[in-house]
Amino acid sequence: MKRAIFPGSFDPITLGHLDIIKRGVTLFDELIIAIGINADKKYMFPLEKRKQFIEETFKNEPKIKVVTYKGLTVNFCKEIDAQFILRGLRNPADFEFEKAIAHTNRKLSEIETVFLLTSSGKSYISSSIVRDVIRNGGDYTGLVPDSVRA
């Protein structure tokens, strides 16, 4: 079984994430959306709400599971027997950042990182931009899935 994780904080999940997940699920037998827990990070949405957004979005997709985890992503991969980490790339800066993480993960384990480029119409969307729009009372509905809009 080809199992991959798509890790992130998903604060909140965006249409950019959705794009990568929908395309990534076709590549694997199971795709686990793994919400990382970082006690040092201040989130806009509580963990359970972020998990609920994702579960609602993918409630009809049997190949997708949503979980939370702490610690190193590669250790979590070993724990759940995931052979791949799926990551989305929006721009060259993302590539450089993700490349360094992928090399480190490869040094620590045998886990492969698979990169997908976001669709051109979604490449500008990030959770930090969405949070800024929300904080400032802007219309974020075209940036997130229905579950976040509700």
The active-site residue, picked from 17, 50, 87, 122, is 17
Question: Is 127 designated active site?
Answer: yes
Question: Is 78 designated active site?
Answer: no
Question: Is 41 designated active site?
Answer: yes
Question: Is 90 designated active site?
Answer: yes
> Which residues are within 8 A (CB) of 32 and not within 5 positions of it... i.e. 6 or more apart?
3, 4, 5, 6, 64, 65, 66, 67, 80, 82
Q: 40: exposed, middle or buried (C-beta count within 10 Å: 0-12, 13-18, 19+)? A: exposed
The active-site residue, picked from 23, 63, 65, 90, is 90
The active-site residue, picked from 50, 87, 122, 127, is 127
Q: Which residues are catalytic?
A: 17, 41, 90, 127
